[in-house]
Chains A and B, each alone.
Chain A
Amino acid sequence: MFTAIQILLLAFVIFAISRVYLRLKENVISARVAFFWFLIWLAALVGVSLPATTTRIAEFFGVGRGVDIIVYISLALLFYLIFRIYVMIEDLRHQITYLIREIGLSGSPKIRKNRKRSKK
């Protein structure tokens, strides 16, 4: 029998898996990214429905409780994801700057003059 918290968490995990599937279907995320998230949520599904599994993994790694290993792994994963998002934001900023630069240069006075001449 599942406890109330297990049922709530399972419902959330199933909801999350469905979102990943939908985003993949809409081509919003790539198959590789979808695979990564499926893996994460399936691990969560196993962890929630079979808590003994996490305890066994925790024992294997020499960590006291199953919950602890989940917290440790989640924290490491979150830090890594924040780093990836930071890098992605940096890339977006560079792309925006590239566009702004191209717009600025194509509108520079001499180039504007040349364009006017070529229209005549």
Chain B
Amino acid sequence: MVKVIIVVPVFNESAVIYKVLKAIPKKINGVSKIDVIVVNDGSTDKSQFEVERAGFSTVEHVINRGLGAAIKTGIAYARAKKADIMVTFDGDGQHNPSDIEKIISPIVQKKADLVIGSRFKKLKKAPLDRYFLNWFANFITLLLYGVATTDSQSGLRAFSKKALNLIDFKGERMDFSSEILLEAKRNNFKKAEVPIKAIYTEYSRKKGQKNSNAIPTFARFLVRLLR
């Protein structure tokens, strides 16, 4: 009996969220139960309506607290529901639902505690600015946290029960992504990276990490290290 909880953080995704949720697989090999929970991070558009129309449950943040905070809420939910595996899946349609099976497979086979769906492991087509920003984020993650990765900012991840119970991070915005890797190092998680296919549309690019966020994110890193 393997219970998987898929956490979908959502902030103003009314244009795509219905389609994204409906595309999430209902059955996965080796998994007995799949539960999808949407963390509505203070959306001010019709996201909540669209999620309910699609027939999914939500945990609502009454005000926007950032992606990291939404993921942490998802972790708290998954712990409370005693999930065996938790998957984070972006609500902007950037991920391919068929990759979910790929990223939970190493955990089901007990080969990993944390699996990162890497968009850059087998690089095919990525916008140049995304490629550079990701390289920069990976470099900073290596420099400050001593963790090497090919995609520190990926939104498609899977956590084993052990990882789910031990992980703790402070970052509430985009900066949490690298902190997860630090937590993996601190707790000696077995880490795996699985190549995934990112779907770069005009919408997902607009909704994803902004290039201009790189500097404030880096500043938050430093303050956390110095405090």
Question: Residues on A close to B: CB < 8 A?
Answer: 83, 86-87, 90, 93-94, 96-97, 100-101, 103-105, 107-110
Contact = CB atoms under 8 A, between A and B. Distances in A.
Nearest to B68: A97
Interface stretch (B11-19, B70-78, B87-95, B184-192): B70-78
Contacts of B223: 83, 86-87, 90
B-side interface size class:
20 to 34
Contacts of B65: 96-97, 100-101
A24 B46 CA distance: 48
Contacts of A86: 223
A118 to B, nearest CB: 17
Given A90-B223, A105-B76, A105-B80, A100 B69 contact: yes
6 contacts: A87-B227, A97-B172, A101-B65, A104-B59, A104-B61, A109-B58
Contacts of A100: 61-63, 65, 69
A48 to B, nearest CB: 33
A93 B61 contact: no
Contacts of B77: 105, 108
Contact of A104 (B66, B73, B220): B73
Nearest to B172: A97
B101 interface: no
Contacts of B193: none
B60 A104 contact: yes
Interface of B: 37, 39, 57-63, 65-66, 69, 72-73, 76-77, 80, 170, 172, 220, 223-224, 226-227
Contacts, number: 51
Contacts of B37: 108
Contacts of A107: 59-60
Contacts of B76: 101, 105
A101 B227 contact: no
B62 A108 contact: no
Contacts of B172: 93-94, 97
A103 B39 CA distance: 12
A93 B60 CA distance: 17
A104 B223 CA distance: 28
Contacts of A108: 37, 57-59, 77
A78 B72 CA distance: 34
Nearest to A90: B223
Nearest to A110: B57
B62 to A, nearest CB: 6
Contacts of A110: 57
Contacts of B62: 100, 103-104
